[in-house]
């Protein structure tokens, strides 16, 4: 199964994350104030230098206004990884 199909069939954030990992998105990124940091290598990148290849969105079960996004990112040096972001009234 290709990545696009696996993401489409993923019903949960963890299933989508696993699909991305199997497709080479093996690093975990963290969004900081003015940079994106790889948690495994501590490499840091300007947010404007990151390429967003995949976007997934999942609504909260108890409150659809709360949602979580999963991004498949490519860094300027070719590193592939994921970044989880949350949306909602508290964010």
pLDDT for position 12: 85
The model carries a pTM of: 0.84
Q: How far apart are CA 46 and CA 68, in angstroms?
A: 22
Q: Render pLDDT for 4-47 as a digit per residue (tens, 0 to 9).
A: 888 888 888 889 999 999 999 999 999 999 999 999 998 999 99
The better pLDDT of the pair 19, 68 is held by 19
Res 71 pLDDT > 80 = yes
Sheet holding 27-31, edge to edge: 44-45, 36-38, 27-31, 80-87, 67-74, 51-59
Q: Render pLDDT for 73-86 as a digit per residue (tens, 0 to 9).
A: 999 999 999 999 98
């Amino acid at each position: 199964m290709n990545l696009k199909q696996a993401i489409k069939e993923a019903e949960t954030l963890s299933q989508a994350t696993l699909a991305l990992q199997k497709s080479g998105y093996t690093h975990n990124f963290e969004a900081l104030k003015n940079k994106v940091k790889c948690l495994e290598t501590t490499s840091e990148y300007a947010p404007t230098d990151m390429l967003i290849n995949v976007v997934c969105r999942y609504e909260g079960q108890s409150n659809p206004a709360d949602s979580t996004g999963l991004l498949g990112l490519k860094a300027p040096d070719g590193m592939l990884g994921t970044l989880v972001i949350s949306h909602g009234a508290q964010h």
